[in-house]
Amino acid sequence: MLVILKDDYDAMSKEAALIVVDRLRKKPNMVLGLATGSTPIGLYKELIRMHVDEGLDFSKVTTFNLDEYVGLSPCHDQSYQYFMKQNLFNHINIQAQNIHLPDGMANDIDHFCDWYEEEIRKAGGIDLQILGIGPNGHIAFNEPGSSLGSRTRIKTLTENTRKANARFFKSINEVPKYAITMGVGTIMDAKELVLLANGAGKADAIKAAVEGPLTGQCPASIIQLHRKTFVIADHDASSKLSGSYPGTWRSSFMLER
Ligand code: GLP
């Protein structure tokens, strides 16, 4: 694991973009795993900027998103499908048939989840998976207590997560109670992981994920077992990490773990 500490959100986003762009240039038909939430928006802005300014080409890229709320149509402005269109897909030259998101309106959710896993497998697996982290240590919608070997499935959202995500809805009553999410095992199959975190609200989760015991109570702690993981955190999100960091804040500091 490589923990990369950056001063602020902007620097965190640009660092993540450098990794994505490097992999994309080496493999133009890469399979990219994408995340939603507020955290990766800066990364997506940077990718859009590089597409517009430098012609960064997404025409051969295939994407798989981590998760989607159950019961929200793709037109709902809080569906993750809508989010991805607004924040990335509408602004780059990705081909519609190469985009994959869990279908929150699927009639047979179990069947859909099996199909999603199979599509990832048929695409050759995910080359690089972008991850955010919930304040309770969840990744995608794998809440505390998730099986560390889990595959794509329906999950009940915790009250904690529904409260955290209520800021995007008119009230907490509108936050769906279920989601379809890639499993922890599905995420771990990706060849590389890039986990992003910013803000003091993520400090406990980052400490537990990077330095805590490996436990399903903090699903993100599984990344300690991944062979190629980058954690990119800003000053506040990394503020509870222990270890022998330099005393002064650094524009870029890497800690190998
Ligand atoms: C949601 C998503 C996660 C995301 C998390 C953090 O629960 N399912 O994939 O990492 O929120 O969101 P934010 O980046 O807005 O803090």
pLDDT above 50 for 166: yes
pLDDT in tens, 65-96: 999 999 999 999 999 999 999 999 999 999 99
pLDDT above 50 for 246: no
pLDDT in tens, 177-201: 999 999 999 999 999 999 999 999 9
Residue of 76, 100, 138, 235 marked active site: 138
Q: Whose CA is nearest to atom 12 of ligand 1?
A: 37
Does any ligand 1 atom lie closer than 6 A to the CB of residue 134? yes
pLDDT above 70 for 252: no
Identify whether 119 is a catalytic site residue.
no
Quick one: what percent of the chain has pLDDT higher than 70?
A: 94
Question: Averaged over 140-148, what is the pLDDT?
Answer: 95
Measured from the Cα of 131, ligand 1's closest atom is: 10
Determine contact, residues 29/60, Cβ cutoff 8 Å.
yes
Does any ligand 1 atom lie closer than 6 A to the CB of residue 66? yes
Helix runs in the chain, H state only: 9-26, 41-54, 80-87, 109-122, 159-165, 184-188, 203-211
Within 10 Å of residue 72's Cβ, how many Cβ atoms?
A: 19
| pLDDT attached to residue 254 | 58
Identify whether 67 is a catalytic site residue.
yes
Long-range contacts of 48-53, Cβ-Cβ distance < 8 Å, separation of 24 or more: 48/88, 48/91, 48/92, 50/17, 50/21, 51/91, 51/92, 51/93, 52/91
Does any ligand 1 atom lie closer than 6 A to the CB of residue 209? no
pLDDT above 80 for 247: no
Does any ligand 1 atom lie closer than 6 A to the CB of residue 219? no
Say how many Å lie between the CA of residue 245 and the centre of ligand 1: 27
pLDDT band at residue 164 using 50, 70 and 90 as cut-offs = confident
Quick one: what percent of the chain has pLDDT higher than 90?
A: 89
**For residues 100 and 186, what is the distance between their CA atoms, to the nearest angstrom?**
15
pLDDT band at residue 126 using 50, 70 and 90 as cut-offs = very high
pLDDT above 50 for 257: no
For 138, counting Cβ atoms within 10 Å of its Cβ (0-12 exposed, 13-18 middle, 19+ buried), the class is: buried
Question: Averaged over 135-158, what is the pLDDT?
Answer: 95
Determine contact, residues 55/12, Cβ cutoff 8 Å.
no
